[in-house]
Structure 1
């Protein structure tokens, strides 16, 4: 991407319901292990010019960038699954949602201790996520080291 400017409309904010839905769907798109299904979900949820600032300092642009990065992470998290942690918080066109990574098959077991915990902060423009920041605040050092800087 040649421009370092991100443009977001202000003044006409989505409803809280739309924002909460987008925050939940943002976290849940990691449940699509099939790349074609994940790309379809990405196109439905994210703006074509999405910018994703990930926890390791990498930045990913557009639908293809999200697909490439999510594929990289899912390959390295083989045997683990993402799940939402609590509800989303909304302020105008910004929402936050928390997530956890747990051993696959334990997503519904709330007593299962996660190996990674983090969250997403997102900005919505025209009913699509335009900017996404992902952060990690609790982690298994060995597992996290497998995630590297992506590509």
Structure 2
């Protein structure tokens, strides 16, 4: 399966879904059942664990949204992109970069996440 910019868009849409049932459905559509998601804060396996992680991030940053912070760079079965997390229409305090790998069905099977900018602890 060849990665496209649409994979990044669907990825971020799943991270922005606030309804728990709709989020589980989005994760099931976008990610493989045995997806591995890892970044400096978390390392989880499985769609349910990823959906729970997304819910926890939303609870930590209520009202914030994920958005692309530049063009996605897809090739073969992999995709890298930079994202921002912040209030709609305002500067984002959190910025990260992810590399996603697709399985043969076109779903994301692994995410290697990096945090490029995070707010200082209060």
Output the TM-score relative to the length of structure 1. Answer: 0.74
Residues 28, 119 of structure 1: alpha-carbon distance in 2 compared, 3 angstrom cutoff: farther
- Structure label with greater radius of gyration: 1
The equivalent residue for 1:48 is 33
What runs of 5+ residues in structure 2 fail to find an aligned partner?
none
Contact 1:24 1:88 in 2 (8 A): no
Is residue 110 of structure 2 the alignment partner of residue 131 of structure 1? yes
Is the deviation greater in 22-31 or in 128-137?
A: 22-31
Partners of 1:27 and 1:141 in 2: how far apart?
24
How far did residue 70 of structure 1 move? 0.8
Within 2, Cα distance between the matches of 1:30 and 1:46?
11
Q: Any stretches of 5+ residues in structure 1 without a counterpart?
A: 1-12, 144-151
Q: Does the 8 A contact of 2:4 with 2:75 survive in 1?
A: no
Shift of 1:141: 1.4
Distance, in Å, in 1 between the alignment partners of 2:120 and 2:8 is 27
Over aligned residue pairs, what C-alpha RMSD do you find? 1.5
Task: Detail structure 1 runs of 4+ shifted over 6 Å in the superposition.
Answer: none
* Matches of 1:19 and 1:65, distance apart in 2: 25
Higher strand share: 2
Please give the residue correspondences for 1:48-127 in structure 2 after superposition, counting only pairs within 5 Å: 48-56=33-41, 58-103=42-87, 106=88, 109=89, 112-126=90-104, 127=106
Structure 2 CA distance, aligned partners of 1:123 and 1:30? 17
